[in-house]
Structure 1
Amino acid sequence: MKSQFFQLFWSAILAGKARADLPFYTNATAYNSGAYGNFPNQTFHSSDIVAPRFLVNKFEPDAIDKAPYLFFEWLYDGVGSPMIFRSDDLSLVYADPSYPGSGDVQIQTVFGEDYLTFWGGEEGFGQGNGHCYIFDQNYDLVHVIMPIGVAPGRFADLHECLLTSEGNVLVIVYESAVFDLTSVGGPVDGLCWDQLFQEIDPKTGQLLFSWRASEHYAISDTNRVYPDDHGDDYLISARSLDSIILINGTDGGTLWTLGGKNNDFTDTSGGRALGFAEQHHARIRGQNRMTLFDNHNRKNGVGCVTGCSRGLELKLDLDAMTAKFVREYYHPTGLVAAGKGGYVPLENGNALIAWGSQPSITEHKGDQVVMEIQVGRLSDELLFETNWPYRAFRMDWAGKPAWGPSIAVDSSAVYLSWNGATELDSWAVLASEKPQDILLQWETLAESKREGFETTIPLEGPKPHYIRGLALGNNGKVLGCTPVVDLQTGSYISTDDNILCSNSLKESI
Structure 2
Amino acid sequence: MWLFLYTAACVALSLVPGAFGEIFLNNATEPLSRFLTRPQSLAPALNVTISKPGQADGLIFMGPYGNGYMGAGPRIYDKQGKLVWDGYGVLPGNAHNVHVCTYQGSPHLCMVLASDQTGYAAGMGVIVDSNYRIVQTVQTGRGAMPVDEHEFHLVDNGTHALVSFYQTVPYDLSPINITTGMGYLMEGGFQEIDVESGDVLFEWYSTNHVDILDTVIKPNTSDVSGTGTTGTSGFDYFHVNSIDKSLTTGNYLVSSRHTGTLYCVNASDQNVLWRLSFVGPSDYTLRGFNFSFQHDARWVSDNDEMSVISFFDNAFNGFGDPATGASATMSPGQVIALNHTDNTAKLLSITYPPYNTTSLSQGNTQLLANGNVFHGWGDVPQISEHDGDGNVILAASFANKQGTIMNYRAFTFDNWNSTPANTVPAVYSYALNTTAPTSIYTSWNGATEVATWRYYGAQNIGDNFTSIGSTPKNGFETLWTAPEFYRWVMAEAVSASGTSLRNSSFQPTFTPGELLVGSCTETGCKALPTEGFVNADVSVYQGTS
Contact persistence 1:24–1:55 (CA under 8 A): no
Q: Deviations over 1:119-141 (max 9, x none)?
A: 11122343111111101122221
Residue 422 of structure 1, CA deviation: 0.8
Partner of 2:18: none
**Alignment counterpart, residue 425 of structure 1, candidates 439, 451, 454:** 451
**Alignment counterpart, residue 466 of structure 2, candidates 443, 449, 457:** 443
Q: Which structure 1 residue ranges, 5 or more long, are not aligned?
A: 1-16, 27-35, 491-509
The amino acid across from 1:223 in the alignment is V
Partner of 2:409: 390
Residue 177 of structure 1, CA deviation: 1.7
Partner of 1:338: 360
Q: Deviations over 1:394-416 (max 9, x none)?
A: 43211121211111122251111
Identity %: 24
Partner of 2:126: 133
Distance in 1, matches of 2:442 and 2:489, equals: 12
**Alignment counterpart, residue 298 of structure 2, candidates 279, 283, 293:** 283
Partner of 2:183: 190
Partner of 1:263: 282
- In 2 relative to 1, CA 24–54 (structure 1 residues): closer, same or farther, beyond 3 Å? farther
Matched, 1:461 2:484: yes
Contact persistence 1:147–1:171 (CA under 8 A): yes
**Alignment counterpart, residue 358 of structure 1, candidates 367, 376, 380:** 380
Partner of 2:318: 299
Q: Deviations over 1:1-49 (max 9, x none)?
A: xxxxxxxxxxxxxxxx9932655588xxxxxxxxx8xx61110011132
Relative to the length of structure 2, the TM-score reads 0.76
Q: Deviations over 1:401-459 (max 9, x none)?
A: 1211111122251111001111111111112345455xxx4311111111010011124
The amino acid across from 2:192 in the alignment is E
Matched, 1:150 2:173: no
**Alignment counterpart, residue 320 of structure 1, candidates 308, 326, 342:** 342
**Alignment counterpart, residue 487 of structure 1, candidates 509, 515, 529:** 509
Relative to the length of structure 1, the TM-score reads 0.82
Q: Which structure 2 residue ranges, 5 or more long, are not aligned?
A: 1-7, 13-23, 226-245, 432-437, 513-545
Contact persistence 1:181–1:190 (CA under 8 A): yes
Distance in 1, matches of 2:73 and 2:216, equals: 34
Partner of 1:478: 500
Q: Deviations over 1:454-496 (max 9, x none)?
A: 0111244332x42211011111111111111133799xxxxxx
Contact persistence 1:186–1:227 (CA under 8 A): no
Distance in 2, matches of 1:488 and 1:351, equals: 47
Distance in 1, matches of 2:262 and 2:136, equals: 29
Partner of 1:223: 216
Contact persistence 1:107–1:395 (CA under 8 A): no
The amino acid across from 1:337 in the alignment is S
Q: Deviations over 1:241-276 (max 9, x none)?
A: 11111111122111111115331112233xx1xx21
- SS for the counterpart of 2:151 is coil
Distance in 2, matches of 1:218 and 1:206, equals: 29
- In 2 relative to 1, CA 391–183 (structure 1 residues): closer, same or farther, beyond 3 Å? farther
Residue 378 of structure 1, CA deviation: 4.4
Partner of 1:371: 394
Partner of 2:369: 347
**Alignment of structure 1 residues 63-212 onto 2, 5 Å:** 63-65=54-56, 67-75=57-65, 77-87=69-79, 89-98=80-89, 99-110=92-103, 112-150=105-143, 154-166=145-157, 167-187=159-179, 189-212=182-205
The amino acid across from 1:149 in the alignment is R
Partner of 1:242: 260
Residue 78 of structure 1, CA deviation: 2.7
Residue 51 of structure 1, CA deviation: 1.9
Distance in 2, matches of 1:24 and 1:220, equals: 52
Residue 305 of structure 1, CA deviation: 11
- In 2 relative to 1, CA 386–123 (structure 1 residues): closer, same or farther, beyond 3 Å? farther
Residue 321 of structure 1, CA deviation: 2.2
Q: Report how many aligned residue pairs link the two structures.
A: 445
**Alignment counterpart, residue 429 of structure 2, candidates 387, 400, 409:** 409
